[in-house]
Structure 1
Amino acid sequence: MPPKKAAAGKAKRAASPTKKPAGKGKGVASGKDKKPAQAAVPQFITDAAIKIQARIRGYLARKHVKKMREDKIAMEKEMEELRANAYRAEVEYERKQQAKQRKKDQEERARIAAEKKLRKELLEACFDDEEDDVIKLLAQPGADVEMADTHNNTCLSEAAAGGAAGIVRLLLSKGADPNSQGEFKRTPLWRACFLGHDQVISMLLDAGADPRIGNDTGEIPKYVANKPEIREMLEAFDLSKTDKLVAQFNARKAEKEASIKAQSMAKINEKASEVTSAKEAYERDQKNLKKAHQELEKRIHEYDTVVGEAKPEELCNITLQTVKDAEKTLEEMKVLADESADNFRSVKLALRNLKDAEGAEDEDEVGIRIELKELDEVLMRDVGNKIRDSGKWPLVIDVSKQVSVFLRYTDTNYVNACSSTNMEPNKLRRSLLGGIRYGKPMVLDLMDVDLMDEIERAFDVIEFGLFDEIMSKGLLQNEAYMKLIRKDDGEEYHPNKFQDSRAQKFKLIIITSNRDPKESLVESTYVMRVKVKK
């Protein structure tokens, strides 16, 4: 082949595409299937990675320590703020209570002074036979024909001693007791006989005065009569007539007492009806307050979610506004709940006063008083075993809400009863089971809402009758708590992990900032009230 042709052929072959190897398929590997050999990582890269990891771990550790410090500072700040707010609230509450008590004391002193003045004037007018004055004085509020001096000498007794026949007739017509006994057990008849008032003696005998009633030494009227004709009048009087008149007087007296009692019961029933209405309003506002708490928690969770997921700023602003709206609604509900709670306490106190019960609310408060600094000793460690010996779980009433902060930062299973997340049945069950498993307290924080009915239902969803079993401590007997374990609880809650000695250290602590919790809750728990100090 000529040289030029050969060169042209080589150039053509070189320019043509390379042919794929024949037989590509089973048993023949393509160039794409071949993996390049992995090169060894240089030592300096490994050392650098180790240093980076160490620095990251150090950074995370410092961040964790910083977070712990910040949490501690935040807790102390929150405690201090709560303490200050609680102190101010307590001072304001005490100021109002003291103002009410001062007003009540002033009114009582004025009432006593007025009654003392009225009694003195009435008794003097009866003795002095000043009939017009007696009529006017008896018409005044609080006046009564049975008014007596410090020696129990009644108006009738004074009139009989003074020989005031017109006053005696007036008082007897108004139902005065002719056989009342005053100083030295002397009756009006005895005093009239001793002083020789014939006309008065005759009136008293005709009204049922009993000549057989003597003084404290046994002397009967005829023995002290200063005139023979008085003794003859007494001896000649038909005692069967006296017995009949005394029976009639006692019947009238019983009828009058029954009428007064009926009127009193009508007032009590009327006040009890007010208590029922106030209770209904209180419970309604408590439910609304609970809903407001839950709504705020829900809105906060939504806001945290959209912020955490880096959602658009517009959506973040919208959810933030819903949080603010929920906060405003909650504040409004708190005001209404406080008003209905105050009214409920007020009408209950009025009812107790009407039933001659304790006159001041603080005197009616059930439970021991403790200071916040005593909480660990009295509540957590139960020094003296008072809680254990009571056979009940503790209820801590703390208007300052400091106990809630204290227990949240203590090793407890804390449950916010207003939180739908905390009260979710499975989470609630694990909180209870965890407390038993590790022998530590489970805290139920009712906040300022009456939630016991909802709490009982929440536990009953887990296991019917569970709440009663917890409150009676039957759940801790004979490893009854084992029935709460579920298959998906994992190795941590395997039955072998439970020890009865730890389970017996479990404690249910109920806390509330409601000053006047439900009576059934108070009766079923060992109550402690936290004193607020500056």
Structure 2
Amino acid sequence: MGSAASALLKDVEQATPEELKAAASALTAEEHARVRAAFAHLHTSLQTDASVGPVVAAAGENEDGVDAALAAELAEQEKMFLKCLRKRAEREAKKKLEKEERKAAAKKLKDKAMEAAFDNELDDLLKMMDEGVEPECSDEHGTTLLSEACAGNAKEVAEMLIGEGCDPNSVGRYRRTPLWRAAYAGNQELIRQLLRSGGDPRECDEQGARPIDVASNAESREYLVCWDPASTDRIKEDKRKAAKNAEKEEKAKFKRQQQELVDSLEESERRMQVSKSELARARKLLVDYRQQKVSFVEQGAQEKLAELEPLIESAEVQVKLFEGSVQEWEWKASRARLKMNDLEQAKKEKEAKAAGKLRGFKVQISCASLDELESLLPRLAPTLEVDEDFAWSDIDLVKGDALIKDGAFSHLKASEFNKQFLQSYGRPSQDEVTEASQAEEGAEKEEPFPLTLNFSRGFNRTVPIKAISDVLLKDVGGLRAEDGRWPFVIDPSGRTSTFIKYSGAAVFNIVELKDMEPLRLRRAFLNSLIHGGALLVDLGSFDTKIDVVADKFNDLEKGLFAKLLDRAVLYAYLLPRRFKSLIVKEIAQDFQISAFMDEALSKFVFGFVTSFRDPDLDFAKQFYTISVKGGDEDEA
């Protein structure tokens, strides 16, 4: 406190009341107003000082206290941020490592299978086939297991592979067929089996040599000379006819299954209508009995009331019985409709798989050399899109897949990333190069191969942010229901999650889900089912492993997440009778079995939202993918 203020207070304390009154009476009106204003200001200042006094005192004790606390908090935030970045980098590195390990393990298993086929180790090869090795698998040169077996005189393995339907005319390294290699090895028995299964003795290798030209012994040459090529043509034709007949049988089987489901649906709907008619009759009878009861009560007819009571009880039992019957046949009709839809979807997926058209976002291939890159380029349009479907090693590329500017090309401008640049990529400096390749000469001097190429595959649907609610929740147009998979929204701007929350959907971000109590998730899940709502998981901007989400749902019930992802869930799991195990004692009063109705369940939506640009292909292809048009570019 200042010295002037101290003196003033001292003078006031020493003055008598009479002196204060005299001084006050001598003041003018203007001076009175100024004194009152000064005292009011002083009162306010004292209150403020009292509230901040401890803080000021602390600051007086340590003038740098506030700055130090702020600096400590900022340092802590920076540590958390760096920790998040480190965790993300570790996850990405771990994912990359796991992918490389899986790829290496698959290649190792395939190489072992090739060796087992060559060495005639049938039991070992059968075990590897159980582990996922396909009978028709081949190495990077196209050499198949059957070809290796023929080269190694592996009679038992070759017989098994021929029995599995492996192609006896598959072309491997140097364009050599299994028959060519069997002839070179001089195995007459294998030659006989291959010829009888359709092996063509007229097929030449890249040097123009036929199997008969390289046969290593007289018996093999004699067998090939005596073989009539017309027989090969007949066998091939028989195989084509057999394949055609198998296709016809498959179609006939599909039609039979479809007709069975149609009949089941019609029968369920017929019985449902009968049950509804009986229910309406029973309800009308019950209403009549109750009206009679009211009348008898008014009349005081006790004897008639006694006779009517059993009739009312019987009618109530009949009403409950027919209500249960109606519900049961509604379930069966709904199940039949969903099974029909699943049958159609399974057919589409089978056809897509046969054509190599798997859905996804990012397809990765590898070019081991300049020759491989040159063989790929003619298949690309000037826009760097695939012109027509083709197979690259064990990867199927489909028309419309577009090469992505990432990896070795991420530093290029969009205008520089074109077919002309790819034609010059990786060439030695003495070759003729284009201006674009000269600009990147420094980058290309380092080892350019093996080169990883990523192709973008289209989403199932692309919509503007304003339409996301109609597509994701209401399924306007019915395309998602027709597809039969749960939705997966890719929105780099991150707006979808916020937008959807305003529509009433339950949205949990991945961080919140990790720490969520199982009972809260159980309530949210059951509420979404009972009201026909949506339950969405926001994966954020991280390439989160699905195991994190799966574990939380499996904590509610073992295997629940797998059931939810399976399309069969809609007719095998999402039925009222199936929820009994999910309704635990703590929430039993809030969720009654009778409250779960098919109409609400049919509107239930379970899905994922992410702002990560390139979700994992294996994860993404399990869902109906929706891309939000514009993404974060709209806000730039």
TM-score of Structure 1 vs Structure 2, range by shorter chain: 0.3 to 0.5
TM-score if structure 2 supplies the norm length? 0.33
Higher relative contact order (CA 8 A, sep 6+): 1
Q: Bigger radius of gyration, 1 or 2?
A: 1
